[in-house]
């Protein structure tokens, strides 16, 4: 258990925004968190906002946080049940996500290798429903353990009740700010079936591995390589990865859109809806590689907004608003941020 005051959050957000929190509390067990919440409710800080964070890879702090920041140090992995072809793991929310993926790949537990290289911690996978290269965290999540930030009581929430959707969950909506994720249960396969639904990954695999059988390690290696090619290292250039979600439109809207933009890329979701890459829309508006003072749009991937040095959260937010406005004016499509804006 570790409590700090007027604590810098510079190392706790990948945008590299230099802000501070009134109180910062790290816990190593569910009991520590529950006790802290119970005690907090009987102090002068009771009315202050509470925010639970992971690695800060999907946050944009607009100001100093005049409240309490919680951070998990629960990093253990437990084998809950195991059968011939399936295993269920209970994983601490404070474990780095990619360390968990590496563990699974090494042990032959399959289903999340396409999510290799994603920054952040395990808890965020359950909140954000992280996804990449044709796979989402919700594909393998079985249930989520949480602590109520009002009462300190524990609760177990089923996958169905998490209401997962594209980069979305109940934790970003009805339950936003109400619960802290402490453990996530994943149901993984011990039989490897590669997911090559993402075109760029399939192209690489077809060329490199044509004559031999794929392994989860192969997929992990190629996914990390693809990510490294187009995404900046946040230790070098502050960023939160993909800033915007890919907009979802109906097929009738797409057909109208194609009359003016014949070569627009898209990915089918179902019989009625498609996703249009936000990166393509942003690039068509001339934003790729553009720098405005301390912030900019990454030259290799226009979906990524970057801190070029010394930027504030509001600098980034202003850039995001400008990008969104230009996309709306040109295409009539609204972009929605994947990143969470945090203001006290």
32 is catalytic: no
242 is catalytic: yes
**Which residues does residue 68 pair with via DSSP β-bridges, in sequence order?**
23, 50
Of 57, 72, 125, 242, which is the active-site residue? 242
227 is catalytic: no
Of 55, 167, 220, 222, which is the active-site residue? 167
Of 55, 145, 222, 338, which is the active-site residue? 338
Which residues are tagged catalytic?
A: 167, 242, 338
């Amino acid at each position: 258990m570790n409590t700090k005051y007027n604590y810098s959050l510079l190392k706790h957000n990948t945008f590299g925004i230099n802000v501070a929190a009134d109180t910062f509390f790290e816990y190593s067990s569910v009991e520590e968190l529950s006790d802290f919440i119970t005690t907090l409710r009987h102090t002068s800080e009771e009315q202050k906002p509470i925010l639970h964070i992971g690695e800060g890879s999907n946050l944009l702090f607009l100001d100093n946080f005049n409240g309490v920041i919680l951070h998990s140090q629960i990093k253990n992995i437990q084998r809950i049940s195991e059968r011939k072809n399936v295993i269920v793991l209970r994983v601490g929310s404070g474990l780095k996500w990619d360390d968990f993926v590496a563990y699974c790949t090494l042990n032959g537990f399959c289903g999340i290798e396409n999510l290799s290289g994603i920054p952040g911690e395990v808890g965020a996978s359950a909140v954000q429903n992280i996804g990449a290269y044709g796979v989402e965290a919700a594909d393998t999540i079985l249930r989520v353990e949480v602590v109520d930030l009002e009462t300190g009581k524990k609760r177990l929430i089923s996958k169905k009740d998490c209401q997962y959707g594209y980069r979305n969950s109940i934790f970003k909506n009805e339950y936003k700010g109400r619960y802290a994720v402490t453990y996530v249960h994943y149901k993984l396969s011990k039989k490897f079936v590669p997911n090559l639904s993402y075109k760029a990954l399939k192209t690489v695999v077809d060329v490199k591995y044509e004559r031999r059988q794929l392994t989860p390690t192969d997929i992990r290696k190629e996914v990390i390589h693809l990510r490294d090619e187009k995404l900046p290292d946040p230790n070098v250039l502050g960023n939160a990865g993909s800033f915007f979600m890919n907009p979802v439109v109906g097929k009738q809207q797409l057909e109208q859109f194609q009359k003016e933009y014949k070569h627009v890329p898209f990915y089918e979701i179902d019989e009625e809806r498609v996703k249009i890459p936000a990166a393509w829309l942003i690039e068509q508006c001339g934003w790729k590689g553009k720098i405005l003072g301390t912030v900019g749009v990454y030259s290799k991937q226009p979906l990524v907004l970057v801190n070029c040095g010394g930027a504030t959260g509001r600098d980034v937010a202003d850039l995001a608003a400008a990008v969104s406005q230009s996309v709306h004016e040109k295409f009539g499509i609204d972009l929605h941020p994947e990143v969470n804006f945090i203001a006290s």
